[in-house]
Structure 1
Amino acid sequence: MENFTNETIDTTQLPKFEEVQFTALHPNYWIVTLINLLIFFLILGTGVGMALFFNEQLSEFRFGIIIVFIVLMLLIVLFSRISFRKKGFAFRTHDVLFRSGIIASNTVVIPYNRVQHVALHEGFISRYFGLAKIEIFTAGGSSSDIEIPGIEKEQAENIKQLLMGKIQKQL
Structure 2
Amino acid sequence: MEDFTNETIDTTLLPKFEEVQFSLLHPDYWKVILAGLTLFFVVIAIGVGTILYFNEELFLFITELSIIYIVLLLLVVFMSRISFKKKGFAFRTHDVLFRHGIIATNTLVIPYNRVQHVALHEGLLSRFFGLASIEVFTAGGSSSDIQIPGIAKVQAENIKQLLMGKIQKQL
CA distance in 2, matches of 1:127, 1:77: 22
Query: For structure 2, which runs of at least 5 residues remain unmatched after alignment?
Result: none
Match of 2:57 in 1: 57
Q: How far is the alpha carbon of 1:121 from its aligned partner? A: 0.2
CA distance in 2, matches of 1:61, 1:80: 28
Q: How far is the alpha carbon of 1:49 from its aligned partner? A: 1.1
Deviations 1:42-97 (A, max 9, x none): 11111011112211221221110111011000000000000000000000000000
**Aligned residues between the structures:** 171
**Counterparts of 1:2-21 in structure 2 under 5 Å?**
2-21=2-21
Amino acid aligned to 1:113: N
Query: For structure 1, which runs of at least 5 residues remain unmatched after alignment?
Result: none
Q: CA RMSD in A?
A: 0.9
**Counterparts of 1:128-139 in structure 2 under 5 Å?**
128-139=128-139
Amino acid aligned to 2:7: E
Match of 2:43 in 1: 43
What is the DSSP-based 3-state SS (H/G/I as helix, E as strand, rest coil) of the residue aligned with 1:21? Answer: coil
Match of 2:25 in 1: 25
What is the DSSP-based 3-state SS (H/G/I as helix, E as strand, rest coil) of the residue aligned with 1:134? Answer: strand
**Counterparts of 1:133-148 in structure 2 under 5 Å?**
133-148=133-148
What is the DSSP-based 3-state SS (H/G/I as helix, E as strand, rest coil) of the residue aligned with 2:47? Answer: helix
TM-score (norm 1): 0.98
Percent of aligned pairs with the same amino acid: 74
CA distance in 1, matches of 2:11, 2:52: 60
**Counterparts of 1:28-107 in structure 2 under 5 Å?**
28-107=28-107
CA distance in 1, matches of 2:7, 2:57: 72
Amino acid aligned to 1:132: A
Moved more, 58-67 or 78-87: 58-67
What is the DSSP-based 3-state SS (H/G/I as helix, E as strand, rest coil) of the residue aligned with 1:65? Answer: helix
CA distance in 2, matches of 1:153, 1:59: 47
Q: How far is the alpha carbon of 1:2 from its aligned partner? A: 4.4
CA distance in 2, matches of 1:27, 1:97: 20
What is the DSSP-based 3-state SS (H/G/I as helix, E as strand, rest coil) of the residue aligned with 1:140? Answer: coil
Deviations 1:23-59 (A, max 9, x none): 0000000001000100111111110111122112212
TM-score (norm 2): 0.98
Query: 4+ runs of 1 displaced by more than 4 Å?
Result: none
CA distance in 2, matches of 1:83, 1:38: 17
Amino acid aligned to 2:163: L
Tell me whether 1:120 sits opposite 2:156 in the alignment. Answer: no
Amino acid aligned to 1:26: H
Amino acid aligned to 2:169: K
